[in-house]
Chain A
Amino acid sequence: MGITVSKNQWMNVAMVAFAMCFIVFSSNYFDEYSVRILNNIAIFIILAVSYNLINGVTGQFSLEPNGFVAIGAYVTALLLVSPEAKQYQYAIVDPYPFVMTLHANFVVALLLSGIFAALLALALAAPVFRVRGDYLAIVTLGFGFIIKILAINNPEITNGSLGLNDIPEFSNLYWTGGIAIIAVIVILNIVNSKFGRAMKAVRDDEDAATAMGVNTFKAKTLAFCTSAFFEGVGGGLLAALLTSISPDLFDFFFTFQLLIIIVLGGLGSTTGAIIGTVLVIGGSEWMRFLDEPMHLFGYTTTAMPGMRMVVFSLILIFIMLFAREGIMGKRELKDFFTSRKKGEK
């Protein structure tokens, strides 16, 4: 036992070191396009591993990331955009005075983004976890819509459907990659802790978990709030990467992308969430050709924007029907090295 643990630790240290070297190397030598994609991948890793915590590890099917990401993005944007830039942006109505005075540095902005999202998650958890099962899905789906509606209808704060522009571009690979590493470490630590075991127990059999004295409400709420926190932080990073945000950015498609990532990687596996992110985000760049006119055997089809989405939804259905475990199942990378047994259940 003692040997495997230290072997594990060495492996973890090695992997973190490798990831750091990769970040330093790629931000120095890769071209701008590749760095942009890597930034996207890093942010989506943060979102996917945290989404996986509530959906995969705890087994509570929720559809909220677009809402919490939007919150994080707006909080960060409001805190980062300089007062001068705010002055000319608010075209629909004058902003509230307090909006003009909001200002913070990047770290504080990201932390506040996460805390805001987590507090909202806490408020949502109370009604939703009172009932069991699928209500969470529909409430969180509705929550995403409400956030979007609020963003559009409160131009005094959010500048309505015009969104916020000129957000300073603070995000770079050191930030996105660094926070992705932190997120993965924190979430893996939660998964492997007492709380993580409670979460898995809730997923596998809630009645049995209750009977064994697990406080299922607490486990679910902890998972939900943690994932909301990281989704908020990820949203902040996204805002500082894109430099402009608008409510349309955060519609349900955003959540759908994350869903397909964690399903492809294997619901419940953090390693799987990372692999899924690389495949889906990289793959959707690669599949851009589907949206463009195609030349097949001398014929040219018309451009079909949205074809990628059709393909993605078919992939999702296909995985569910024929390969429900996804790539990793519930296993983690370490399970392949440390034991011959077929991963923990």
Chain B
Amino acid sequence: MDVTIFMQQMVNGFSLGSMYALIAIGYTMVYGVLRLINFAHGDIMMVGGFLGYFGIAILELPFGAAVILAIVGSALLGMASDRIAYRPLRSAPKISLLITAIGVSFFLENAFNVFFGGVPRAFPVPAYLEVVVDFMGLTMPVSAILVPIITACLLAMILWVLYKTKYGMAIRALAFDVGTVNLMGIDANRIITLVFGMGSALAAVGGIFWAVNYPSVEPMMGVLVGLKAFAAAVVGGIGSVGGAVLGGLIIGFTEVVVIAFLPELGGYKDAFAFIFLILILLFKPTGILGIDFEKSRF
């Protein structure tokens, strides 16, 4: 085994895992406060990628501005989806909420498909992200280095919000007990909107990373990524932000490493996340770092 190749794959795995992690954080936060698998989360990531594409290719914004457009746009979309589709169902049976989430997801996919076409569009990656750097024999584009760094920064930010601010305290309280939070004079709906905004903003960043890495965007790009990210959130322990990151990294690494060293399994790479998911449900349903929601709730 060549050490350089091994290290190279590690870097790739870290980069891919960071992307899953960013998206998984959104799943885990929404699940934490609403106990809802937000099926539309992967599609919000897709919208983020598309907004970045529109910003650069149509509005001719610089890359940074396009990223901000994508983040703000996706956050607004996430909050709107909560306001329109999920909030009226707060007291409804959970199955209604799940079905609505699937409806929102299918709507986003198909609306983008109808209006912008299903053919992948080349994403205009700025040249400075494509520069290949040579570091101790490892070659990688700048973007592959930036992804984990930015993910780490965003993770620190999220953790800061969650554990050092009043809003964070409210979010954690909401995850613990919705009824009591309302009694304490906290507007639960506002906090839930905030959670959707934060999660969707992170998904947009993930979407931009994705678009830069596989330089293209298409309406269905969020489906599989979203599912894998959810699997990552469950593997790490749903409801825990650290767990989401851990799960994302595990699944990203597995995909990259298995393909690198067992190429004949390449066709199955999309199945690993689900195999992990089933194994973790069998042996430790709360996930690696998980909180036992079932018990805390009932």
A residues adjacent to B (C-beta < 8 A): 55, 59, 61, 63, 124, 126-128, 130-135, 137-139, 141-143, 145-146, 149-150, 152-153, 207, 252, 256, 259, 263, 267, 304-307, 309-310, 312-314, 316-317, 320-321, 324
Q: Kindly provide the distance from the CB of B94 to the nearest chain A CB, expressed in whole angstroms.
A: 7
Which residues of the partner chain A approach B95 to less than 8 Å between Cβ atoms? 55, 59, 61, 267
**With the chains together, A314 CA to B108 CA distance in Å?**
10
Could you mark each residue 127-160 of chain B with 1 if its beta carbon is under 8 Å from any beta carbon of chain A, else 0? 0000000000000000000000000000000000
**With the chains together, A312 CA to B106 CA distance in Å?**
9
Which residues of the partner chain A approach B230 to less than 8 Å between Cβ atoms? 138
**With the chains together, A305 CA to B98 CA distance in Å?**
27
Give which listed residue, B107, B278, B298, contacts A139 with CB less than 8 A: B278
**By DSSP majority rule, is chain B's interface helix, strand, loop, or mixed?**
helix
Beyond A134-B37, A256-B106, list 4 extra A-B contacts (CB 8 Å): A134-B35, A135-B281, A305-B114, A320-B85
Assess whether B99 is in contact with A252, with CB atoms less than 8 Å apart.
Answer: no
The answer to whether A149 and B267 touch (CB under 8 A), given A130-B281, A131-B294, is yes
Assess whether B85 is in contact with A317, with CB atoms less than 8 Å apart.
Answer: yes
Which residues of the partner chain A approach B36 to less than 8 Å between Cβ atoms? 134
The answer to whether A320 and B274 touch (CB under 8 A), given A130-B281, A138-B227, is no
Q: Kindly provide the distance from the CB of A134 to the nearest chain B CB, expressed in whole angstroms.
A: 5
Which residues of the partner chain A approach B100 to less than 8 Å between Cβ atoms? 316-317, 320-321
The answer to whether A321 and B267 touch (CB under 8 A), given A130-B285, A138-B231, is no
Assess whether A153 is in contact with B234, with CB atoms less than 8 Å apart.
Answer: no
CB of B161 within 8 Å of the partner chain: no
Which residues of the partner chain B approach A267 to less than 8 Å between Cβ atoms? 95
Which residues of the partner chain A approach B92 to less than 8 Å between Cβ atoms? 324
Assess whether A128 is in contact with B281, with CB atoms less than 8 Å apart.
Answer: yes
Which residues of the partner chain A approach B268 to less than 8 Å between Cβ atoms? 149, 153
The answer to whether A143 and B103 touch (CB under 8 A), given A127-B282, A133-B94, A135-B281, is no
**With the chains together, A146 CA to B94 CA distance in Å?**
26
Give which listed residue, B107, B113, B274, contacts A314 with CB less than 8 A: B107
Q: Which 8 A-B pairs have the closest CB atoms?
A: A142-B274, A153-B267, A313-B107, A316-B103, A309-B110, A317-B103, A313-B106, A127-B282
The answer to whether A145 and B277 touch (CB under 8 A), given A310-B107, A316-B102, is no
CB of B250 within 8 Å of the partner chain: no
Closest A-chain residue to B92, C-beta based?
A: A324
Interface residues of B in 91-123 (CB under 8 A from A): 92-96, 98-100, 102-104, 106-107, 110-111, 113-114, 118
**With the chains together, A305 CA to B89 CA distance in Å?**
31
**With the chains together, A267 CA to B94 CA distance in Å?**
13
**22 pairs of residues in contact across A and B, judged by CB atoms under 8 Å:** A61-B95, A61-B98, A63-B102, A130-B281, A131-B281, A133-B94, A133-B294, A134-B94, A139-B277, A146-B274, A149-B271, A153-B268, A263-B99, A306-B110, A306-B113, A310-B107, A312-B106, A316-B99, A317-B85, A320-B100, A320-B103, A321-B89
CB of B60 within 8 Å of the partner chain: no
**With the chains together, A156 CA to B111 CA distance in Å?**
37
Assess whether B271 is in contact with A146, with CB atoms less than 8 Å apart.
Answer: yes
CB of B270 within 8 Å of the partner chain: yes
Closest B-chain residue to A252, C-beta based?
A: B223
Closest B-chain residue to A63, C-beta based?
A: B102
Give which listed residue, A132, A142, A252, contacts B277 with CB less than 8 A: A142
Interface residues of B in 246-275 (CB under 8 A from A): 267-268, 270-271, 273-275
Q: Kindly provide the distance from the CB of B286 to the nearest chain A CB, expressed in whole angstroms.
A: 9
- Residue among B102, B113, B230 facing the most chain A CB atoms (10 A cut-off): B102
**With the chains together, A55 CA to B114 CA distance in Å?**
30
Q: Kindly provide the distance from the CB of A202 to the nearest chain B CB, expressed in whole angstroms.
A: 12
